Structure 1
Amino acid sequence: MLLDAQGITRVAETGPLRENAEIDRSLLRDLTVLKLNEEEGELLAGGLDLEHLETLGVPEVLLTLGSQGARVAADGVMTPVSPRVADGPVDPTGAGDGFSLLYVVGRVSGLDPVAAATRAAHDVVELITIA
């Protein structure tokens, strides 16, 4: 099961976006994958390195970094994933959701975490490129 951290860190209210680290940590207990952006990683783990991300107790942590690619923390190793450069203008709306979906498809298809993230980072560009 994959969870995008925005769903648990964003305060449910209208107005400016606010985040809160005071989450029920039991929500992470049964996860296989947690997807975080940089702000969520700092907020929940206190840092973006392997040591901090492992404190979350989730077997696979995906740290998405926008145009800088991603990092996969799994099996005691942090692996960078290079981004694919788009051939034209992009609308990044939904890029994180697309990345998550493509990652899960890769994992269900038998890819290991790094291969699934690499494919997701490559294929998500098709979803956000403006034709």
Structure 2
Amino acid sequence: MTTPSVLFVCVHNAGRSQMAAGFLAQLAGDRIEVRSAGSAPADQVNPAAVAAMAELGIDIADQSPKVLTVDAVQASDVVITMGCGDTCPVFPGTSYRDWALDDPAGQGVDAVRPIRDEIKARVEALIAELVPVAH
């Protein structure tokens, strides 16, 4: 059985998609391949997102925003978009989902925490769907 792969996409690849990738890597380990990218990547990961994730023991400080490429989309089984609208490329055969989440850009840690917690819940549900527990 091949390892499923997930690509998280948001505009700047600095907040939502980085937090989602951090949770998926931490919670799924090597059971799911994780990628993240942005249609217009920022210079650095949002410091409030880094701080909010650090509160849960997940370090995303060493990540850097990456530009969204056609190859990354085509190499992924599931593409999850987070507010990138029409700038996200769509290819046949790839499963697309849009997670409507507030943008943490310019927000403080207090505002980022509920976004982080919503992302964690969605990532946990995604893992349960992609990697069913064997009985």
With the length of structure 1 as denominator, give the TM-score of the two structures: 0.31
With the length of structure 2 as denominator, give the TM-score of the two structures: 0.30
Higher relative contact order by CA 8 Å / sep ≥ 6: 1 or 2? 2
